[in-house]
Structure 1
Amino acid sequence: MDEPTFGWTEFEEIALGLVEAHPDRDPAGVSFPELRELVEGLPGFSADEDHRVNEQILEAIQSAWLEELADGGDEDRGYHPNNPFR
């Protein structure tokens, strides 16, 4: 079975991959040229030849990565109250 692929505009998929591949990296400290290399190195990433990457796309990826880290970077996205024992 072939591994599923994703491209430049699948920000959530890229962010999840970056969290898994680089758990100790601070996305805010990654330059856009380095971010491009990190994304291109993700398993399953396949750039569409007709879709060029630009600064806005890299910024969106960086934001999605930061958001994913803020969310805990895990697959469990169910309800989690702030203080369940109040």
Structure 2
Amino acid sequence: MKWTDTQDIAMALTDTHPEVDPQYVRFTDLHRWITQLDGFDDDPERSNEKILEAIQAAWIEDADY
């Protein structure tokens, strides 16, 4: 997975952190959790606030289903 794989990352976060309400996750934790996901293979330094916001929004949507 790369930073641009927003939906895939969101689904993986839902699977790995089912007890977490994604709307209250700090970006520092979100960044760490993403880089620790199995299959994540991108430069940790390539993320930014816009990318993390998009992933968080997708995670909130995925967690609602």
TM-score (norm: length of structure 1): 0.71
Residues 1-86 of structure 1 mapped to structure 2, 5 A cutoff: 6-48=1-43, 52-70=46-64, 72=65
Query: Which structure: greater helix fraction?
Result: 2
Tell me which stretches of 4 or more aligned residues in structure 1 moved more than 4 Å. none
User: Helix, strand or coil: the match of 1:46?
Assistant: coil
- Structure 2: distance between partners of 1:11 and 1:30: 16
Count residues in correspondence. 65
Q: How far has the Cα of 1:52 moved from its partner? A: 1.2
Structure 1 unmatched ranges of 5 or more: 1-5, 73-86
User: Helix, strand or coil: the match of 1:9?
Assistant: coil
Structure number with higher relative contact order (C-alpha < 8 Å, ≥ 6 residues apart): 2
- Structure 2: distance between partners of 1:28 and 1:21: 16
Structure number with greater Rg is 1
Residues 2-56 of structure 1 show CA distances to partners (whole Å, capped at 9, x for unaligned) of xxxx11010000001000000010111111111000101111001148x711000
Identity %, equivalent residues:
43
Structure 2 unmatched ranges of 5 or more: none
